[in-house]
């Protein structure tokens, strides 16, 4: 009689999609995640450029009495948005093309961690992180 508490191996016919050669579904969703954030940060960069180019007009139409301070804050804000969006666009563009190597799996944490900093992005980032830590994903990236 067999021991009911021992796990029995799953037959090969039931292991559809379980081999190490097929790309895990989390990699597809990770690419979608990186593409969405890349688009977001490109748009933020465009917003920074617009803020910088129209700093005078925005300050003139504002309700503050000190138009010079508002113009300077628009210029600083535009430069800040352009710089931040440039670097984050690079992070997510590289994330789109991570190779199937150990460092590619490790690099995948950085874009996911950036999404974890915002409560509105956590519903996407947390499940992505959970599946990114899956042993099957590690095997696909040759981490084991």
> Smallest Cα–Cα separation from 98: which of 21, 35, 16?
35
CA distance linking residue 89 with residue 87, whole number of Å: 5
- The string of pLDDT tens digits covering residues 73-114 is 889 999 999 999 999 999 999 999 998 999 999 999 999 999
Check: pTM over 0.95? Answer yes or no: no
Q: How confident is the model at residue 37 (pLDDT cuts 50, 70, 90)?
A: very high
Q: How confident is the model at residue 143 (pLDDT cuts 50, 70, 90)?
A: confident
- What are 72's two structure tokens? 């300077």
C-alpha to C-alpha distances, 68 to 60, 72, 73, 98, 101, nearest whole angstrom = 9, 6, 9, 45, 52
Query: Dihedral through CA 39, CA 43, CA 48, CA 52, nearest 10?
Result: 140
Q: Which two tokens stand for residue 41?
A: 């940060």
């Amino acid at each position: 009689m067999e021991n009911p508490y021992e796990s029995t191996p799953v037959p090969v016919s039931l292991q559809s999609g379980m081999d190490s050669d097929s790309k895990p579904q989390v990699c597809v969703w990770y690419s979608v995640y990186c593409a969405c954030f890349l688009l977001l940060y490109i748009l933020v960069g465009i917003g920074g450029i617009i803020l910088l180019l129209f700093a005078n007009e925005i300050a003139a139409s504002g309700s503050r009495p000190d138009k010079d301070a508002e113009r300077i804050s628009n210029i600083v804000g535009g430069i800040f948005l352009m710089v931040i969006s440039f670097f984050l666009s690079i992070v997510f563009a590289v994330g789109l093309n991570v190779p199937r190597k150990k460092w590619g799996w490790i690099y995948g944490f950085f874009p996911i961690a950036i999404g974890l900093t915002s409560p509105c992005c956590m519903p996407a980032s947390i499940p992505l992180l959970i599946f990114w830590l899956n042993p099957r994903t590690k095997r696909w990236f040759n981490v084991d």
